[in-house]
Amino acid sequence: MSVSLDGYITDRRGRFDWTEPDAELHRFHNEQVRELGGHLLGRRLYETMLYWETPEATEPGQPEVMAEFAQIWRDLPKVVFTETLESVEGGSRIAERSPADELATLRERSQGDLGIGGAGLASTFMQLDLIDEYRLFAYPVVLGGGTPFFAPVEGRIELDLVEARVLGPQVTYQRYARRRGPAANP
């Protein structure tokens, strides 16, 4: 997920236009999503990403990197957690069970890592300690408020930095692995 330097994924009005990727960053996102075996997402993120399921996303004249992402996204199995939608489109289905059960089912049916997106849903998985890696794209912007990247948690979550690099317009990609074991969560 994308985050401002002060820890927000959207500004106070719910906008995230400051996360518009350039071609280099978009290619990196394509590589990341191509490696996934599935994606679990909340309703708002599903609605945001719905564009990639439309014919417009691959129309002639679209940048190649965007058309490529659309195809990758369409082919990806997705589970949408929603209390308001009655149906979803494309390669998505509505979650019918608990987050832990849906995660287990998708793991059984998929090859590769699973992505989790949407602040509320990610918070749920974080509270359940079901996240093995945290991958964030830190943008050089301070928003001063909005939707926080991390929700409050009961205990400390210990992480190890696995990868860090600068991409596109000065965006820092950081990948952290969950530290497991007796000393990991005192």
Q: Is residue 79 part of a domain?
A: yes
Q: Is residue 186 part of a domain?
A: no
CB burial readout 72-110, b (16+ within 10 A) else e: bbbebbbbbbbeeeeebebebebbeeebeebbeebeeee
Residue reference for tokens 């494309």: 90
Asked whether the beta carbons of 2 and 137 are under 8 A apart, the reply is yes
The pLDDT score that the predictor gives to residue 183 is 58
The pLDDT score that the predictor gives to residue 184 is 55
**pLDDT digits 0-9 by tens, 23-43:** 999 999 999 999 999 999 999
Q: Is residue 63 part of a domain?
A: yes
Q: Is residue 82 part of a domain?
A: yes
Q: Is residue 65 part of a domain?
A: yes
Q: Is residue 56 part of a domain?
A: yes
Q: Give the chain's domain count.
A: 1
Which CATH number does the domain housing residue 125 bear? 3.40.430.10
Q: Is residue 184 part of a domain?
A: no
Half-sphere exposure in the Cβ direction for 133 (13 Å, CA): 15
Q: Within 10 A of 121 (CB to CB), how many other CB atoms are there?
A: 23
Domain containing 60: what range? 2-178
Q: Which helix (H) or strand (E) holds 107?
A: helix 99-109
> What is the value of pTM for the model shown?
0.89
The pLDDT score that the predictor gives to residue 143 is 97
Q: Is residue 110 part of a domain?
A: yes
The pLDDT score that the predictor gives to residue 180 is 84
Half-sphere exposure in the Cβ direction for 25 (13 Å, CA): 19
Asked whether the beta carbons of 81 and 99 are under 8 A apart, the reply is yes
The pLDDT score that the predictor gives to residue 35 is 96
Q: Which residues of the chain have pLDDT under 70?
A: 169, 182-186
